[in-house]
Amino acid sequence: MDRGTVQKVTLAFGVIYLIVGIAGFIPGIAPPADEPGERVLLGLFEVNALHNIAHLVLGALLVIGGLAEGYVYTVNRVLAVVFLLLFIAGFIPAFANLLAINAADTILHLLSALLTGYLGFIAPRQVAPARPRA
């Protein structure tokens, strides 16, 4: 996988997180949950304002990493750790309640950690071949 592909995947993943962060604030997409201040995004993921803001921040960092060639691996490494910590936080009631993390969120955070971990730590660091000039 060349750096360009890593950047494109990182950028796309960031855009998805930005969309999810915005969608968490839209009542039709995230109706109120049983707990005050919480919503259920797409009928599956519990979110609250702090959780949505976290999605926006993480998405923005991924977009920046996808656009800034020199930082794509670093951003993915850092966010792999963050997503892993969020995965672990899903098992700690105080954090899970603060961020409105449910089982679906926990699984998604693990998958996000695996993707960003692969992109940041494992993906081969090949430079895309130069295109011949016409």
Predicted confidence (pLDDT) per residue in 5-48, tens digit = 999 999 999 999 999 999 999 999 999 998 889 999 999 999 99
Average of per-residue pLDDT values in the chain: 93
Q: Is the pLDDT of residue 81 over 90?
A: yes
Residue 80 resides in a domain: yes
Q: Is the pLDDT of residue 66 over 60?
A: yes
Residue 134 resides in a domain: no
Residue 130 resides in a domain: no
Confidence band for 125, pLDDT divided at 50, 70 and 90 = confident
Task: Please give the backbone phi and psi of residue 128, each rounded to the nearest 5 degrees, phi first.
Answer: -60, 140
Residue 23 has a pLDDT of 97
Residue 18 resides in a domain: yes
Residue 132 resides in a domain: no
Tokens of residue 83, six digits: 């997503």
List helix spans (H) across the chain: 3-23, 49-67, 72-89, 93-99, 103-117
Phi-psi map region of 100: left, alpha, beta (phi>0 left; psi -120 to 50 alpha) = left
Number of domains making up the chain: 1
DSSP designation for 39: E
Domain of residue 117 covers 3-122
Residue 9 resides in a domain: yes
Residue 128 resides in a domain: no
Tokens of residue 102, six digits: 């449910």
Residue 100 resides in a domain: yes
